[in-house]
Structure 1
Amino acid sequence: MLTELSIKDFAIIDHLTINFNSGLTVLTGETGAGKSIIIDAIQLLSGGRGSVEYIRHGSKKATLEGLFNVDDPKHEVFQIAETYGVETDNDGMFVLHRTISASGKSICRVNGSLITLAILREFGRLLIDIHTQHETQSLMDADRHIQLLDLYSRDEIEEVQKEYQSIYKKLLAVKGRLKHFEKNEQEIIQRLDLLTFQLKELKDAELTPNEDEQLEKERDRLANYDRIFQNVQEAYSALHGERHGLDWLSLALSALETASTYEQNLKEEAEQFSNHFYLVEDIAMRLRQYLDQLEFDPNRLNLIESRLNELNRLMRKYGSSVNEMLEYAAKVEDEIDQLKDRDQSMQQLQNHLQAYTEDAIAEANHLHDIRINNAARLKVSMHKELKDLYLEKAQFQVDISKRITGNVSAKNLGLNGFDYVQFMLSTNPGEPLKPLNKVASGGELSRIMLALKKIFAKHQGVTSVIFDEVDTGVSGRVAQAIAEKIVNIAAKSQVLCITHLPQVAAMADTHILIEKKMLQNSTHTIVSQLEKKQQVEEIARMITGTELTKASLMHANELIEHADTIKK
């Protein structure tokens, strides 16, 4: 859930920090006070499209930060974090950060790690589910209906869908290779000539694995011959030369061994000194041998430089190292074999395409059957939810058709199989079922969205659900029904709700009042968490729209008492 939101220099907000609780949090206030601005901030924090217009007048940047707590260690957000190298801790805390600069650029971070806006959007999708009056219109998009049905069927369809998509991706890869082979003959010949030339050039170079690394080491050794010889010679002379380093060490050893015959406490030191002496003596002998063998061959250095120049020339064309060039040569050789044996390769690909198509069609039929069964279940669930929302006369149906005519083939298949899913609705008896965008009014669409959200709440796994005035256009008993649906959703996920309905506000576990005030000739947004008495007064104002009355206060208390009874 979203536990804290920090906003700085965003729209009319100079600086604001809001703490959120679990359950249902209601945000109320006069139009223009800044309620929707807070939702805009959360939307941008979850990867929404930003604009310099969001930056507060006179500021250089707007900064948004949200702290989320994820209790479920198996939540998908942890997998996304691992994928992108974002560190997490055992507390399941995620800090999303976004800065929008005056230049229009965004800086995005999760738990301090710098990420792209696209990656921030992936985190936001898993943590926040935002529904505004505009977002509700996405229900009109029939292309999203198959996603919603599959979400409803997740437990049953997920493994089948993964299997189908794995086969489908292989099918697409084979189709791509076939398309490559089906290019005209002239292109094939030109490609074959190019590959043959490249392979000859690489084979003539007689490359050996790690050759470049070994040559560079040998070149460095020859190029620094004088330094190496001088330093090794100096080390040897210090031990065995005129300075007689070993002679002095030998004298010290003899003296220490003699002393140890009289003092037992010195025996251990004498033994250790003896071991180190012989080790140093051995090193001196090996340095002498190294000097005897060390020689400088200028011709060999020239040969190495010449070979490295040749390798660098080839690397500019075929890879950044000898090993990469060898790998490229193997791929070229394989492609030449395929091009020379084009007919056999095409037949093999055709066989693979046929096999993958048959497997994909079988899995697509399996997906179709699962969707048919769950469409019937979703219809029953929706009718129950719509009845609770006083749309008892409405008829809901999931229309599933195949995007094909005649026999199924590879070209009929898509990422979700061959199904086309569309939600159909009839709101009045006797009217035929039609697509949602043909029949639903604003108030009806809000109720349909809430019904779907109530059904899908347990499947989606998001930590916070946000409703921004989705209850617009309703009143009376419908408003009460919407309030009850929202509080039901809040039982499974944290819900933040901007509302103008007193029935919804009365359901709040936490009630936040947003106010706009003028301070020192500047507009500021003030956020207050209301106590019980203040909540009653605010709901009473929502009822009357003006001054408090005894009747409105009594009504507000009744609404809160009724809400408490429902929540219990």
Structure 2
Amino acid sequence: MLIGLSIRDVVLIESLDLAIGEGLTALTGETGAGKSIILDALGLATGARADAGLVRRGASGHASATAIFALPADHPAFAYLDDKGLSYARDEDLVLRRQLSPDGRSRAFVNDQATSVGVLKDLGALLLEVHGQHETVGLLDPKTHRGLLDTFGGVSLGAVASAWSAWRAARDKADHLRDLASRATAETEELTLRLAELDRLDPREGEEPSLAEERALLSSAEKAMADIAAAQDALGGDNLSGRLAQAYRALERARDRALQAGAQAEGSAMTRLSAACEAVDRALVEAQEASAAIDAVAESFEFEPDRLEKAEERLFALRAMARKLNVLVDDLPGKRAEFAARLQAIETSEDALRAADKDAAEAREAYLYAAEALSAERRAAGDALAQAVEAELAPLKLEKARFRVALEPVGEERAGPSGLDRVAFEISTNPGAPFGPMEAIASGGELAR
């Protein structure tokens, strides 16, 4: 049901928002009041042909029309939205919107999702039936007949739509796996080669910065060793410690002789002598620590002659592989795991494809079963509709006319969420005349009736 219409800058209307309630709504007014403009705006929102003449003169932007519909959960429009891949919620309003620019170009939206004008037109045919002075659009368009029949018969499309979605998903999955399998041979060779290279290289996380640091250290090792040796020579090694030890013992003897000679321990001379002993003792300890530290540094710079060459070779190999794969060096372990997983997936793809084909076949059978059940419902509804229509023909002075609902099965290539039926209303207006399409056989007067 149409519940709202919003119009902006269409012909003479600058801004109008209509809220439409249940039951009959009548728009009245004198000639030129704008009734037809409202219908034009509704047509604009539901995909009717439009030109730049609909844009209000003096408008600062484009013309727009928005139609809002409240639909029952089983309305055929939802199956159509599924088929077109447009999102919706069955418990929310369906919003159709069209924008028309001054140069005649237009944009179409369904629930604020960009789409084509053709989609708006198809939805409009499912949502509206327009009767004018010279046309009966809904009845003349066979595209609307299936939806009209389903509505008359209370036919539910839920089971078929659900089965169609399941079949399409299963078929897409099988097609995807089949495409992967077709490319598996070439991809397997490439992946096997790359994985073998990575296995030989055996990259490890955090290896690049460690190798770069080692390389920098090894590059400077020779000159650093010379400087360390100079430091050892300057410090004197054990000679310095020995001289400091002799100096300390000499000061100790001097202090002992002074005390034996009667010098006061608290005196100025003895205090200075004790301070000198302590200073030399500290120097001796620190000299020994300094010598040990320099020796430790020297040991850390003692490397194998070819260690620098090996570190550089390893670092350059890692970086070359990273360039080949267009990744960072730190990503190489992850690439190795990825290639292994992809090879494993290819090896098991045949089993997965067989399972997918089986699922697709089962989904197809489920869809065909549901579609056949739907066709049976439509045949029964068609018979009931034909009886109901023919009961109304005699009072309209069409007692010789006959009406029927033609159901024609379509091939699986045209399967969809609405089943496998083509529905058309056909009539025969004269005794003995064959049935034919309503739009081709009925006269203007007969159509009006």
TM-score, length of structure 2 as denominator length: 0.52
Secondary structure at the counterpart of residue 56 of structure 2: coil
Question: Identity of aligned pairs, percent?
Answer: 26
Per the TM alignment, residue 417 of structure 1 is displaced from its structure 2 partner at its CA by 5.0
* C-alpha distance 48-311 of structure 1, shift in aligned 2 (>3 A): farther
User: Is residue 403–residue 420 contact of structure 1 (8 Å, CA) maintained in 2?
Assistant: yes
User: Is residue 52–residue 101 contact of structure 2 (8 Å, CA) maintained in 1?
Assistant: yes
Counterpart-to-counterpart distance in 2, 1:26 and 1:99? 26
Per the TM alignment, residue 433 of structure 1 is displaced from its structure 2 partner at its CA by 2.4
Per the TM alignment, residue 384 of structure 1 is displaced from its structure 2 partner at its CA by 3.8
Tell me the residue number matched to 1:161. 160
Tell me the residue number matched to 1:59. 59
Tell me the residue number matched to 1:334. 345
Counterpart-to-counterpart distance in 1, 2:49 and 2:334? 44
* C-alpha distance 45-370 of structure 1, shift in aligned 2 (>3 A): closer
Tell me the residue number matched to 1:436. 438
1:148 maps to amino acid: L
Tell me the residue number matched to 2:194. 201
Counterpart-to-counterpart distance in 2, 1:370 and 1:357? 20
Q: How much is the aligned-residue C-alpha RMSD, in angstroms? A: 5.8
Tell me the residue number matched to 2:37. 37
Counterpart-to-counterpart distance in 1, 2:335 and 2:168? 27
2:42 maps to amino acid: I
Per the TM alignment, residue 140 of structure 1 is displaced from its structure 2 partner at its CA by 3.9
Per the TM alignment, residue 158 of structure 1 is displaced from its structure 2 partner at its CA by 2.6
User: Is residue 45–residue 124 contact of structure 1 (8 Å, CA) maintained in 2?
Assistant: no
* C-alpha distance 432-196 of structure 1, shift in aligned 2 (>3 A): same
List gaps (5 residues or longer) in structure 1. 182-186, 223-298, 405-409, 448-568
User: Is residue 3–residue 68 contact of structure 1 (8 Å, CA) maintained in 2?
Assistant: yes
Tell me the residue number matched to 1:414. 415
List per-residue Cα deviations over 1:404-423 (Å, max 9, x = no partner): 7xxxxx67x73355544332
Tell me the residue number matched to 1:131. 130
Per the TM alignment, residue 35 of structure 1 is displaced from its structure 2 partner at its CA by 3.2
Counterpart-to-counterpart distance in 2, 1:94 and 1:147? 17
Select the structure of larger CA radius of gyration: 2
Per the TM alignment, residue 160 of structure 1 is displaced from its structure 2 partner at its CA by 4.0
Tell me the residue number matched to 2:10. 10
* C-alpha distance 198-49 of structure 1, shift in aligned 2 (>3 A): farther
Counterpart-to-counterpart distance in 2, 1:192 and 1:57? 65
1:442 maps to amino acid: G
> Whose strand proportion is higher, 1 or 2?
1
Map 1:207-218 to 2 at 5 A.
Answer: none
Tell me the residue number matched to 2:376. 369
1:116 aligns with 2:114: yes
List per-residue Cα deviations over 1:491-516 (Å, max 9, x = no partner): xxxxxxxxxxxxxxxxxxxxxxxxxx
User: Is residue 160–residue 367 contact of structure 2 (8 Å, CA) maintained in 1?
Assistant: no
Secondary structure at the counterpart of residue 61 of structure 1: coil
List per-residue Cα deviations over 1:109-160 (Å, max 9, x = no partner): 78xx8542459949975995252559844544545534433343444x4344
* C-alpha distance 15-420 of structure 1, shift in aligned 2 (>3 A): closer
Counterpart-to-counterpart distance in 2, 1:345 and 1:337? 6
1:38 maps to amino acid: I
Secondary structure at the counterpart of residue 59 of structure 2: coil
Secondary structure at the counterpart of residue 128 of structure 2: strand
Secondary structure at the counterpart of residue 433 of structure 2: coil
Deviates more, 1:432-441 or 1:51-60: 51-60
Highest RCO, 1 vs 2 (Cα 8 Å, sep ≥ 6): 1
Secondary structure at the counterpart of residue 375 of structure 2: helix
1:396 aligns with 2:403: yes
Select the residue among 416, 425, 428 that pairs with 1:426: 428
User: Is residue 196–residue 336 contact of structure 1 (8 Å, CA) maintained in 2?
Assistant: no
Tell me the residue number matched to 1:150. 150
Per the TM alignment, residue 197 of structure 1 is displaced from its structure 2 partner at its CA by 0.6
1:161 maps to amino acid: V
2:114 maps to amino acid: T
Per the TM alignment, residue 74 of structure 1 is displaced from its structure 2 partner at its CA by 9.6
List per-residue Cα deviations over 1:281-321 (Å, max 9, x = no partner): xxxxxxxxxxxxxxxxxx9xx99x95996598259xxxx99
Counterpart-to-counterpart distance in 2, 1:351 and 1:4? 48
* C-alpha distance 442-202 of structure 1, shift in aligned 2 (>3 A): farther
Per the TM alignment, residue 325 of structure 1 is displaced from its structure 2 partner at its CA by 9.9
TM-score, length of structure 1 as denominator length: 0.43
Counterpart-to-counterpart distance in 1, 2:425 and 2:72? 32
Aligned length: 335
Per the TM alignment, residue 202 of structure 1 is displaced from its structure 2 partner at its CA by 6.0
User: Is residue 382–residue 396 contact of structure 1 (8 Å, CA) maintained in 2?
Assistant: yes
1:313 aligns with 2:315: no
